[in-house]
Structure 1
């Protein structure tokens, strides 16, 4: 069998925002198939069999056929290797736990050169998936071995290293369901939801409304208890201790059994329960001391540990814990029984698992074993149970069982501490009974609580806690479908676009909104230039959208920026396209004639919100044709009052248009017309006469934003335009 040379990866580009392929981030790869251009899948002996043996779930890929097994049909009928690589990568991502569906492969104008894309929300993960998919396809082509498990693990590792944690991820997903945009602000879990002045920020389950003072209080468990007790919330009696001797003394004073724990630890680290013996209490002090700044000894309260999640003063989820034990069979050692326990698919070391592995080397586990007189090497008799861990295993949903009295005390405790999002650790005999009746107590109040236990309980109903937090940050009563959004205008084309951006920004500013502008002439905020260099690209727009001062934004976009980077925002209120020029400089993207510019610049109109508007140049037929792609209203502008497109738009759709007639600018809605002023009257401050098409585009955009015509006319006359 002949050995084929590797498919060449000519270049890879991560498009971080909406682009010519899709609304979401993708990796675009240019492939040179080389000699494989002459060898589609059905002409490679054994290739299809090897590939489907490694990846049997490829049968689920519908491909263009539109039904289960569609891609297999394409394989058997003969398809090219770029298309196959696309599906291999998608399947590897699926196997690694990142659901993936979208991919496309298109031949370029050069024979054997293809553009292959696939959707992936993280660039590093996308590049690892590409590398593993590339290695797999070449192994299948050349009948060589391939480590599939290793490939999947490499992608999983990249996901765990780079992807948002489950708590942050579920909030972001919920916000996306409400069409609230997000921007990741660092390599960790700091995420901005919304744009500009409408934004909120989250960091795992903390928000920019989470008080630093409240978080500090919650970290000091002893102080928290004193605050709660002062307000009538039941808490266990206890005291901070400075030594093992003092721990034993306090235990004697308050009476055994006791709990020993760090004053400001988390995730149940260093916590030991139900201690009665002096040796055990001293050992527990040694475990707790490294985990916090101080150690607390408190009265042990019998019952089951519960975690109640409070968001915005309301109970949204509750879970119940259970001790972890193994049961002997008279043959296996304790270590072997624990190894079997750790094989439970719900247990694992990463955040995605609701339960942790049991580590026999942990001090708290060793102390439990010592109290029971067993070691990891002990063979556990038939029927005997060995307790391994008493706390930290809250994963049984009990939200529907919570008594209103229990919920009341949890909500009260969150308010006393001052947390908008809080995880309440409570000890209860029965969550469905009143708190004090059963002698229950609040053990801890946690800021930034983990959400995975509510998302993936080991039993019971998963709870939409991410949506509860998204709704808390963006109440439905505020802004409606525009929650998290500011008025955003996107402008694409080449003809006077920097002028259009700045004039629209000025008119928005006059309308009462502090407006930022990112243009080829620099960055502007509230009329002041903050950056002189070109900002008409992804990074410039990104900086503007993260600025909390911006109550509105105007962003100039170029065709090259769309092709090189994608658009920095997900949707816009107004999208403007002025012309289709500039294709001559885009040959490196295989744009070789004017007709291909439609696919590029339609992106700007594809992003218009349903309640927004597309502003299009009716004097350019190719631009005007984009009207069919706009989800919102369409406003045409033209230098010709008799433009047939505008006439049809006005009569057939009662549409709006801006045009010139006999030297005057006219605003029309259906048959109604209003003269804004003559072109001579609409000169800029200092008497400068702008280019008419650019002026009309800016007027149409401002009108689409709801700015009153009188203010538009006055604003034009006061606009002091000087090129940067």
Structure 2
């Protein structure tokens, strides 16, 4: 038997930023290769489990599939594969930095021995990815020791990295409170800038500053001299102070104020540069450069030293939320241990960690601490008497190793009033008021205390995780201030997916709600549209575009076209959608990203159905079996739409659904035409005649009849009144203004031209049906006999060869002349290869007796359009399946203008007309 080698490696990493095919929530997806370790489960690796649990003791708490504490340890002892171990190690590492993530799964990759899909949740994606990489290195190290792998250093480096990219405790506390209230959030940068809410309802926070925080108030709080003067003018207790720029000035001011004094930077924070209890001019001069280094403007404050304890009063929205006593970092002698040993013992407290990793920060012995020890008559190696308190810092900041004691319910009412008044004077919605006084339970005006500082963006950690006392849930009043009870935080979201028709249906839905006065943000393959203005021109059917809409402060309604590629690449990019619309699932894009069958494609598109909440709706096509099956994945209500005739199996299912109180939209045929009917329970409401809807071309464009049904069903599910839905459908046309690149009809010198985005075989079937219906009704205006149909077709290079051939075969059945072109992006194919495959399908269909008489290959899109137009005579029909519709429409306009100007673009007679070709 071979020996195990450290072969575990990561082949692929994906970050899902919303619901995806693996999880209802955001997740990281790894594809790993075990290599030789595929033959070695954990029970065959001597000492592996014990060593792993020693390095990551948190794994003992993992329940795994057993559903109980210790379940994962049982799996380790029984034998599990190392990909599964890497998943749990990545989760445990995230938990070590305070990210409470427990979701994960490991599944083998079908048909690839030793390859596994590892999927697990994350809070911060950078931390989640770093956790995976460290987990893989750890597993390999435990299989075969790596002399260059130092676990303690690697773990500490990971924690420090997590601290740099993760939210601080204050930001995280606010986000946790928002999540508990179902308020969505989006991280706007790599630091602490966060958007709470969506669209028009959004608020922003950065640490503990909010959208309501006044910039002027922050500037005032940053200027300690100005703050003191304002508070003093209001009659609030403040120390005597003056601002200086030189050490000599500082000494002179200190003499005038009276020793002892404090020297601190004018605009510093976190207690940096603050020197306390200076007893003579020499001390002041020595402290001056320390304070000046931390002052952005080079100005230093000299103020009288107020003796007493250090208290932080947190004021939120004008009310006291919490009070904490801050005790500087210190050790207490036991009569046996040196100060250095006492520091090490104190840092061994499991509550202490690196930076903000845990509720307390490890004490750091630096030059300032050594100097402070010397002032107290100690060195690091000295042994202080039992019970003796030895200070290691002068300020009580948590970030320097201090501790906090909750005093919220002990503060004297007069002190509470003073703190609230101080916040009002400065103008901060969230303020940290620093009191120095003998006892917060006694009025500071009587005990001689004072307000020494007012802080913007105060930290919450000392209040949410006090060392002694009860934690205060101070994030609640912050969120109450931003989102008062009953205030909305989400905008309605309608997500639309399917193989064909997504863009047109999305535009119809947007048009309906725009007519209702809503500010609609829409994403589609053409770009991002905000309130009918195209702001981004690109394929915007992915998750990044959806987040762009949700970040726009004008948008109060979202309509997202959701493509297969975006779901597979990043997930939805948002948490949930109120209405999910699935139009159809047909064979397209197969063979890409592991999606080889139409059933797998249906599972991908069903993600938006799974993202429907209990009070939401899924609008499903009852005529498509794969879409119909998605009803089982919907937590909310199902709204059916169907073009099937009364008495069909689909209609019987819909009738049974409506008898149970359900909703559906169907077509009811009559002598006057087809009527779109809304069914809700036992009620039936007529909506509109299909032939009166401009987008349906008098009912001939059956794909747009279906799209209109879906759009009306989505609008009905989203709460739109019927008269607004009717008005929206009646005013929506396939003009280039409202629906660029989708069944746009233009007339060029007597030639009827249809511009459409059709690019796959199912779409070509629908387009061919429309061409046949239009062709039957076209008047014979040509002197050459019946009008000719000329099609310019293409498909994307990443389709399968058979799909390309099928597209050509279908086109040959509906056009007399087929011109095959190619897109600008070849998607991995050689120039001309895609067109040749499409042409093969045309030839095969033509040889089997299809309508097509002529086949041309013109690779460039504009040249193909020119070629088709040169062959057309007045009365003919030209259908152009476009890639870049703006340039095609511009070319058609130029063609028309040049012909009218007599530029010679037109010909005197027919050019290769198929009616004359044998």
TM-score, length of structure 2 as denominator length:
0.73
Q: Against the structure 1 CA distance between its residues 54 and 616, is the aligned structure 2 distance closer, same or farther, given a 3 Å change threshold?
A: same
Please list, as runs of the form range in 1=range in 2, the aligned pairs for 1:64-75 lying within 5 A after superposition: 64-75=65-76
1:123 corresponds in structure 2 to 125
For the residues of structure 2 that align with 1:358 and 1:81, how far apart are their CA atoms?
Answer: 38
- Is contact 1:489–1:555 with CA below 8 Å preserved after alignment? yes
User: What's the CA shift for 1:678?
Assistant: 0.5
1:250-285 alpha-carbon deviations (Å, 9 max, x no partner): 333333332222221111122223333232233233
Q: Against the structure 1 CA distance between its residues 338 and 65, is the aligned structure 2 distance closer, same or farther, given a 3 Å change threshold?
A: closer
For the residues of structure 2 that align with 1:337 and 1:635, how far apart are their CA atoms?
Answer: 68
For the residues of structure 2 that align with 1:48 and 1:385, how far apart are their CA atoms?
Answer: 44
Please list, as runs of the form range in 1=range in 2, the aligned pairs for 1:58-137 lying within 5 A after superposition: 58-112=59-113, 113-137=115-139
Question: Within the alignment, does 1:452 sit opposite 2:456 as a pair?
Answer: no
Question: SS where residue 443 of structure 1 aligns?
Answer: strand
1:606 corresponds in structure 2 to 610
Question: Within the alignment, does 1:156 sit opposite 2:149 as a pair?
Answer: no
For the residues of structure 2 that align with 1:43 and 1:323, how far apart are their CA atoms?
Answer: 51
For the residues of structure 2 that align with 1:260 and 1:139, how far apart are their CA atoms?
Answer: 52
Question: Within the alignment, does 1:414 sit opposite 2:423 as a pair?
Answer: yes
For the residues of structure 2 that align with 1:369 and 1:70, how far apart are their CA atoms?
Answer: 50
For the residues of structure 1 that align with 2:106 and 2:360, how far apart are their CA atoms?
Answer: 41
For the residues of structure 2 that align with 1:476 and 1:222, how far apart are their CA atoms?
Answer: 38
For the residues of structure 2 that align with 1:282 and 1:695, how far apart are their CA atoms?
Answer: 80
1:273-310 alpha-carbon deviations (Å, 9 max, x no partner): 33332322332333322222322222222221111111
Out of 689, 703, 706, which is 1:678 matched to? 689
Please list, as runs of the form range in 1=range in 2, the aligned pairs for 1:393-432 lying within 5 A after superposition: 393=402, 395-432=404-441
Question: Within the alignment, does 1:264 sit opposite 2:267 as a pair?
Answer: yes
Q: Against the structure 1 CA distance between its residues 443 and 283, is the aligned structure 2 distance closer, same or farther, given a 3 Å change threshold?
A: same
- Is contact 2:97–2:357 with CA below 8 Å preserved after alignment? no
Question: Within the alignment, does 1:169 sit opposite 2:177 as a pair?
Answer: no
User: What's the CA shift for 1:11?
Assistant: 1.9
Q: Against the structure 1 CA distance between its residues 513 and 685, is the aligned structure 2 distance closer, same or farther, given a 3 Å change threshold?
A: farther
For the residues of structure 1 that align with 2:3 and 2:443, how far apart are their CA atoms?
Answer: 74
1:151-198 alpha-carbon deviations (Å, 9 max, x no partner): 433432331232112221221121111111111111111111121221
1:89-133 alpha-carbon deviations (Å, 9 max, x no partner): 333433454333211122233041332212123333233222232
Q: Against the structure 1 CA distance between its residues 523 and 307, is the aligned structure 2 distance closer, same or farther, given a 3 Å change threshold?
A: same
For the residues of structure 1 that align with 2:371 and 2:589, how far apart are their CA atoms?
Answer: 71
For the residues of structure 1 that align with 2:72 and 2:331, how far apart are their CA atoms?
Answer: 47
1:597 corresponds in structure 2 to 601
- Is contact 2:9–2:136 with CA below 8 Å preserved after alignment? no
2:499 corresponds in structure 1 to 494
Q: Against the structure 1 CA distance between its residues 57 and 243, is the aligned structure 2 distance closer, same or farther, given a 3 Å change threshold?
A: closer
1:499-534 alpha-carbon deviations (Å, 9 max, x no partner): 111111122222222111011122111112222211
Question: Within the alignment, does 1:185 sit opposite 2:188 as a pair?
Answer: yes
For the residues of structure 1 that align with 2:245 and 2:564, how far apart are their CA atoms?
Answer: 66
2:285 corresponds in structure 1 to 282
Out of 564, 574, 581, which is 1:576 matched to? 581
Please list, as runs of the form range in 1=range in 2, the aligned pairs for 1:299-378 lying within 5 A after superposition: 299-327=304-332, 334-335=339-340, 337-359=342-364, 361-363=366-368, 365=369, 368-369=372-373, 371-376=375-380
For the residues of structure 2 that align with 1:126 and 1:385, how far apart are their CA atoms?
Answer: 41
- CA RMSD, Structure 1 to Structure 2 (Å): 2.8
Question: SS where residue 12 of structure 2 aligns?
Answer: strand
For the residues of structure 1 that align with 2:365 and 2:594, how far apart are their CA atoms?
Answer: 60
For the residues of structure 2 that align with 1:78 and 1:161, how far apart are their CA atoms?
Answer: 37
* Deviating more after overlay: 516-525 vs 42-51: 42-51
1:2 corresponds in structure 2 to 2
2:906 corresponds in structure 1 to none
Question: Within the alignment, does 1:391 sit opposite 2:398 as a pair?
Answer: no
User: What's the CA shift for 1:710?
Assistant: 0.8
For the residues of structure 2 that align with 1:323 and 1:80, how far apart are their CA atoms?
Answer: 49
1:329-371 alpha-carbon deviations (Å, 9 max, x no partner): 67766555555555555555512355555555444x5664454
Q: Against the structure 1 CA distance between its residues 411 and 80, is the aligned structure 2 distance closer, same or farther, given a 3 Å change threshold?
A: same
User: What's the CA shift for 1:68?
Assistant: 3.3
1:297 corresponds in structure 2 to 302
For the residues of structure 2 that align with 1:72 and 1:287, how far apart are their CA atoms?
Answer: 53
User: What's the CA shift for 1:394?
Assistant: 5.8
Out of 531, 535, 538, which is 1:533 matched to? 538
For the residues of structure 1 that align with 2:51 and 2:287, how far apart are their CA atoms?
Answer: 57
For the residues of structure 2 that align with 1:221 and 1:493, how far apart are their CA atoms?
Answer: 60
* Deviating more after overlay: 413-422 vs 584-593: 584-593
For the residues of structure 1 that align with 2:391 and 2:141, how far apart are their CA atoms?
Answer: 49
* Deviating more after overlay: 140-149 vs 173-182: 140-149
For the residues of structure 2 that align with 1:151 and 1:361, how far apart are their CA atoms?
Answer: 23
Question: SS where residue 401 of structure 1 aligns?
Answer: coil
For the residues of structure 1 that align with 2:270 and 2:637, how far apart are their CA atoms?
Answer: 52
Q: Against the structure 1 CA distance between its residues 362 and 75, is the aligned structure 2 distance closer, same or farther, given a 3 Å change threshold?
A: closer
1:479-506 alpha-carbon deviations (Å, 9 max, x no partner): 2xxxx21111111212211011111112
* Deviating more after overlay: 241-250 vs 346-355: 346-355
User: What's the CA shift for 1:470?
Assistant: 2.1
1:222-270 alpha-carbon deviations (Å, 9 max, x no partner): 1111111222222122222233333333333333332222221111122
Q: Against the structure 1 CA distance between its residues 342 and 700, is the aligned structure 2 distance closer, same or farther, given a 3 Å change threshold?
A: same
User: What's the CA shift for 1:48?
Assistant: 4.9
1:395-422 alpha-carbon deviations (Å, 9 max, x no partner): 1111121223222221221121111111
For the residues of structure 2 that align with 1:682 and 1:25, how far apart are their CA atoms?
Answer: 41
1:701 corresponds in structure 2 to 714
> Highest CA radius of gyration, 1 or 2?
2
* Deviating more after overlay: 571-580 vs 317-326: 317-326
User: What's the CA shift for 1:311?
Assistant: 1.3
Out of 656, 667, 673, which is 1:660 matched to? 667
1:669 corresponds in structure 2 to 680
- Is contact 2:97–2:358 with CA below 8 Å preserved after alignment? no
- Is contact 2:512–2:727 with CA below 8 Å preserved after alignment? no
For the residues of structure 2 that align with 1:279 and 1:56, how far apart are their CA atoms?
Answer: 53
Out of 185, 203, 206, which is 1:203 matched to? 206
1:635 corresponds in structure 2 to 639
For the residues of structure 2 that align with 1:277 and 1:679, how far apart are their CA atoms?
Answer: 92
For the residues of structure 2 that align with 1:596 and 1:131, how far apart are their CA atoms?
Answer: 30
For the residues of structure 1 that align with 2:197 and 2:37, how far apart are their CA atoms?
Answer: 46
Q: Against the structure 1 CA distance between its residues 55 and 268, is the aligned structure 2 distance closer, same or farther, given a 3 Å change threshold?
A: closer
For the residues of structure 2 that align with 1:552 and 1:217, how far apart are their CA atoms?
Answer: 39
Question: SS where residue 585 of structure 1 aligns?
Answer: coil
Question: SS where residue 648 of structure 1 aligns?
Answer: helix
Out of 639, 650, 653, which is 2:658 matched to? 650
For the residues of structure 2 that align with 1:722 and 1:299, how far apart are their CA atoms?
Answer: 72
